């Protein structure tokens, strides 16, 4: 059971999550406005599409001058969690009316036309292969996009080859270059997948990807195509035609090169952990045995030493008792008629005495006894 936390701790935590999630900061959201209410120069409203709705709040004083209920708009801002009420609102810093611009009208017309032709049909979409080795990238040779794709791909798997087909990504003739590149790579054997990529920009900047010629080339392409145009919130016609839409160019590389390397590094990690614990286990076992073995040897040695010491003591005391050792120090033993004589007064002056030294016996005649 987890510890309890207070409402404030919970709120603080939720707020921090939204603040830390930079992908959600300063984004553009398209939707329809409804439920506008104004209170002290702050406008509250909801933004919805066919399925869902979000709460928005706008602090810009006259941001809502021309906006009315049901208008389709693009709002720019970031999510904000209000801790006092526990509500998540989208904090709008800019609001633009859509659906009226010339380009947007063209975009919708082309989208409708192609939709009716069946060019967006899911059934026509090709499967993105699993084991990708070479990726053909159609984008500008300048700018961050190609570098991002190379970096992300190679970080995930250094063996991936990236083939760049350089094109103009905006301005006059860009759409023709892009369409021709798609046609060329469509027939180029040595790649597994094509990525059509471009960094973020305005509707005008991204226009080449909203053209019929690019849409048709994409549809006709024999190879699987991933579109990665603009930011996550930008949708272009090619995104509807392509076999897979990646939210950004880096994300395209991540989608295509993810599984194999992550599996490999996972395997490597598991193996290294396994090897590490095997080694730890070995050192433990080894140490335990090593210590025990050393103490066995030293116990054995000290046992032997103690026995040798005891033996030495016994030996020393034994040699003190040995009569020979006394004789060796210059003393002598006296006998008379095979009998031990240990008193001078016991000596019989009439018979010989035998004096035992350590190396022999002297037979002598006693002359006189002087008692001390």
Partner 1 sequence: MKFEEAIKELEEINKKLSSDSLPIEEAKKLFERGKELSKICYENVKDIKGKILEIKEELGILIEEEVDL
Residues that bind partner 1 (CB under 8 A): 158-159, 264, 267-268, 271, 274-275, 278-279, 281-282, 285-286, 288-289, 292-293, 295-296, 299-300, 302-303, 306-307
The token duo for 275 is 């090897």
DSSP string, 24-91: GTTEEEEEEEEEEEEETTEEEEEEE-SS-EEEEEE--TTTTTT--TT-EEEEEEEEEEETTTTEEEEE
CA dihedral of 341, 344, 350, 352, whole degrees rounded to 10: 50
What residue has token string 């209410």?
Answer: 37
Q: Which is nearer to partner 1, 59 or 283 (CB)?
A: 283
Q: Which is nearer to partner 1, 144 or 285 (CB)?
A: 285
Question: Between β-strands 53-58 and 27-39, what pairing exists: parallel, antiparallel or unpaired?
Answer: unpaired
Q: Which is nearer to partner 1, 147 or 268 (CB)?
A: 268
State the nearest-atom distance from the C-beta of 347 to partner 1, in Å. 50
State the nearest-atom distance from the C-beta of 320 to partner 1, in Å. 24
Q: Which is nearer to partner 1, 302 or 352 (CB)?
A: 302
State the nearest-atom distance from the C-beta of 161 to partner 1, in Å. 12
State the nearest-atom distance from the C-beta of 274 to partner 1, in Å. 8
Q: What is the 3-state secondary structure (H, E, C) of 245-314?
A: ECCCHHHHHHHHHHHHHHHHHHHHHHHHHHHHHHHHHHHHHHHHHHHHHHHHHHHHHHHHHHHHHHHHHH
State the nearest-atom distance from the C-beta of 193 to partner 1, in Å. 18
Q: Which is nearer to partner 1, 59 or 289 (CB)?
A: 289
Question: Between β-strands 161-166 and 134-139, what pairing exists: parallel, antiparallel or unpaired?
Answer: parallel
Judge residue 173's burial from the number of C-beta atoms within 10 Å of its C-beta, 0-12 exposed, 13-18 middle, 19 or more buried.
Answer: exposed
State the nearest-atom distance from the C-beta of 254 to partner 1, in Å. 19
Distance between CA 36 and CA 71 in Å, rounded? 11
166 beta partners: 139
Q: Which is nearer to partner 1, 17 or 285 (CB)?
A: 285
Q: Which is nearer to partner 1, 10 or 309 (CB)?
A: 309
State the nearest-atom distance from the C-beta of 244 to partner 1, in Å. 24
């Amino acid at each position: 059971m987890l510890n309890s936390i207070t409402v404030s701790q919970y709120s603080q935590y939720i707020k921090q999550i939204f603040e830390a999630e930079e992908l959600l900061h300063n984004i553009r959201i398209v939707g329809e406005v409804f439920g506008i209410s104004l209170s002290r120069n702050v406008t509250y409203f909801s933004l919805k599409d066919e399925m869902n709705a979000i709460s928005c709040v706008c602090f810009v004083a006259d941001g809502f001058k021309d906006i009315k209920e049901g208008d389709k708009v693009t709002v720019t801002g970031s999510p904000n969690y209000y801790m006092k009420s526990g509500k998540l609102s989208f904090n709008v810093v800019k609001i633009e009316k859509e659906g009226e611009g010339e380009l947007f009208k063209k975009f919708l017309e082309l989208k409708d036309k192609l939709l009716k032709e069946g060019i967006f049909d899911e059934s026509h979409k090709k499967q993105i292969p699993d084991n990708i080795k070479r990726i053909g990238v159609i984008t500008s040779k300048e700018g961050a996009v190609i570098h991002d794709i190379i970096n992300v791909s190679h970080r995930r798997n250094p063996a991936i080859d990236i083939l760049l087909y350089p094109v103009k990504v905006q301005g006059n003739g860009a759409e023709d270059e892009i369409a021709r590149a798609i046609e060329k790579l469509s027939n180029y054997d040595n790649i597994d997948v094509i990525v059509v990529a471009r960094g973020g920009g305005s509707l005008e900047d991204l226009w080449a990807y909203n053209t019929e010629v690019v849409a048709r080339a994409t549809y006709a392409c024999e190879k699987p195509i991933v579109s990665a145009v603009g930011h996550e919130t930008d949708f272009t016609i090619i995104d509807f035609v392509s076999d897979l839409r990646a939210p950004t160019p880096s994300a395209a590389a991540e989608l295509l090169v993810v599984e194999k390397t992550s599996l490999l590094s996972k395997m490597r990690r598991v193996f290294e952990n396994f090897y590490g614990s095997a080694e730890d286990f070995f050192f433990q076992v080894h140490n335990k045995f090593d210590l025990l073995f050393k103490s066995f040897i030293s116990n054995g040695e000290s046992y032997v030493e103690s026995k040798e010491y005891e033996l030495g003591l016994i030996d020393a005391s034994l040699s003190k008792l040995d009569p020979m050792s006394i004789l060796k120090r210059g003393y002598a033993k006296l006998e008379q008629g095979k009998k031990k004589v240990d008193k001078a007064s016991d000596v019989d002056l009439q018979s010989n005495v035998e004096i035992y030294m350590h190396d022999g016996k002297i037979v002598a005649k006693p002359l006189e006894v002087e008692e001390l």
